[in-house]
């Protein structure tokens, strides 16, 4: 009797697993190569060792009430409705329960997982990402300064969204949740890093929103003038000049294409300073290693007592959390740029694991 919870695999798949093991590969590598979970690899190898067979062992217990046609119906419904619960799938199929749907899904390798959040990529964005990766293969990233803004809120983080998928389907578009900006009370912070160096962090002042005579809201947020005055002319300039001198090389800036980064006020300051900027594909936070640094920052802010009390408490918590981030944590991510570039090429411009 197979171990409970292990989906059956074909004899061809089992033979592949055994062959890779005999060639000396680790269970983790075999699982990735065979596109199965590690527990399945362990079960197949144990079955082969103890019973000398690649075929499933006879199963005990009551036979399943689900025939092949119903099984196909269940799996088709799951794939077409990834975010529905097993109970919601069962409600559309006569004669089956949510538990039955779960068993069929499990046997086919599907699990309920937290859906990954990734920006939506239009076809032209995918093309741009792939071209960018080809152009930047082999680039010396020691000359890069990565900078970005992030919004840190005082409210409770939103709940998780679950999706039904197989282990290798995490980055399929139909299994992802598009990211968006929250309307919670929050502060906007700007920061910068380079390989082996943590730069400054600044909590930005947003321009006020105005209301027209017709009641329409205009402006607000961070505009090009605010970015030029608070970032480019100040902390970014100082950090850029410092690294240019220390490393005896021309440092270039990597940031996304937000409107505030491209306005005339910003361009004028950059031209005056001679500051070069590397093109960054839109909706591509996976190509800026400061993104995982923001994740670290937000986790540490959330652990600081009283950070939700008011905006001043949040401002202090942001600076305290940034100070706690070590250079080794920066290097862990800035040192992966070549891997990020290769991942984009492997994905043909699509989403990556980063």
Indicate whether 120 pLDDT > 90. no
Residue 125's pLDDT is 94
Distance CA 167, CA 29 (A): 14
Indicate whether 105 pLDDT > 80. yes
CATH 3.30.420.10 residue spans of the chain: 122-158+167-346
Mean pLDDT throughout 74-92?
A: 91
103: left (phi over 0), alpha (psi -120 to 50) or beta: alpha
Residue 198's pLDDT is 97
CATH 1.10.10.10 residue spans of the chain: 1-59
Residue 353's pLDDT is 87
User: Over the stretch 186-203, which tens digit does the pLDDT of each residue have?
Assistant: 899 999 999 999 999 999
User: Over the stretch 239-273, which tens digit does the pLDDT of each residue have?
Assistant: 999 999 999 999 999 999 888 998 999 999 999 99
Would you give the DSSP letter of residue 309? S
- Whether the CB-CB separation of 165 and 113 falls below 8 Å is answered with yes
Report which secondary-structure segment, H or E, holds 87: helix 86-90
Residue 180's pLDDT is 46
Is residue 62 very low, low, confident or very high in pLDDT (cuts 50, 70, 90)? low
Is residue 160 very low, low, confident or very high in pLDDT (cuts 50, 70, 90)? low
Nearest CA among 117, 172, 197, 138 for reference residue 350? 172
- CATH of segment(s) 1-59: 1.10.10.10
Residue 243's pLDDT is 97
Q: What percent of the chain has pLDDT over 70?
A: 88
Residue 303's pLDDT is 86
**What superfamily does domain 122-158+167-346 belong to in CATH?**
Ribonuclease H-like superfamily/Ribonuclease H (3.30.420.10)
Residue 1's pLDDT is 41
Residue 41's pLDDT is 92
To the question of pTM greater than 0.75 for the whole model, the response is no
- Whether the CB-CB separation of 230 and 200 falls below 8 Å is answered with no
User: Over the stretch 123-148, which tens digit does the pLDDT of each residue have?
Assistant: 999 999 999 999 999 999 999 999 99
User: Over the stretch 331-344, which tens digit does the pLDDT of each residue have?
Assistant: 999 999 999 999 99
**Low-confidence winner among 27-41, 71-85, 165-179 (lowest mean pLDDT):** 165-179
């Amino acid at each position: 009797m197979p171990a409970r919870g292990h989906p059956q695999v074909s004899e061809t798949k089992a033979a592949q697993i055994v062959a890779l093991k005999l060639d000396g590969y680790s269970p983790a590598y075999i699982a990735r190569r065979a596109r199965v979970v590690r527990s399945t690899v362990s079960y197949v190898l144990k079955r082969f060792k103890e019973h000398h067979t690649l075929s499933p062992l006879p199963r005990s217990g009551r036979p399943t009430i689900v025939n092949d046609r119903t099984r196909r119906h269940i799996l088709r419904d799951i794939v077409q409705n990834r975010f529905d619960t097993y109970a919601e799938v069962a409600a559309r199929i006569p004669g089956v329960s949510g538990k039955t749907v779960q068993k069929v899904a499990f046997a086919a390798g599907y699990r309920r997982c937290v859906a990954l959040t990734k920006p939506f990529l239009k076809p032209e964005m995918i093309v741009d990402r792939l071209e960018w990766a080809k152009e930047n293969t082999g680039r010396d990233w020691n000359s890069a300064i990565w900078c970005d803004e992030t919004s840190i809120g005082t409210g409770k983080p939103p709940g998780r969204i679950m999706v039904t998928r197989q282990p290798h389907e995490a980055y399929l578009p139909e299994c992802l949740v598009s990211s968006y900006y929250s309307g919670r009370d929050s502060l906007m912070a700007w920061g910068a890093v380079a390989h082996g160096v943590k730069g400054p962090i600044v909590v930005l002042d947003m321009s006020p929103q105005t209301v027209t005579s017709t009641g329409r809201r205009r402006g607000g947020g961070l505009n090009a003038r605010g970015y030029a005055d608070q970032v480019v002319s100040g902390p970014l300039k100082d950090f850029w000049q410092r690294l240019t001198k220390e490393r005896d090389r021309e440092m270039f800036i990597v940031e996304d294409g937000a409107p505030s980064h491209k306005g005339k006020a910003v361009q004028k300051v950059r031209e005056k300073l001679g500051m070069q900027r590397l093109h960054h594909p839109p909706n591509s936070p996976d190509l800026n290693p400061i993104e995982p640094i923001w994740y670290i920052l937000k986790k540490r802010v959330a652990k600081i007592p009283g950070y939700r009390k008011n905006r001043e408490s949040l401002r202090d918590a942001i600076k305290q959390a940034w100070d706690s981030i070590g250079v080794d944590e920066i290097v862990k991510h800035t040192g992966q740029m070549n891997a990020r570039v290769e991942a984009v090429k492997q994905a043909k411009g699509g989403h990556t694991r980063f």
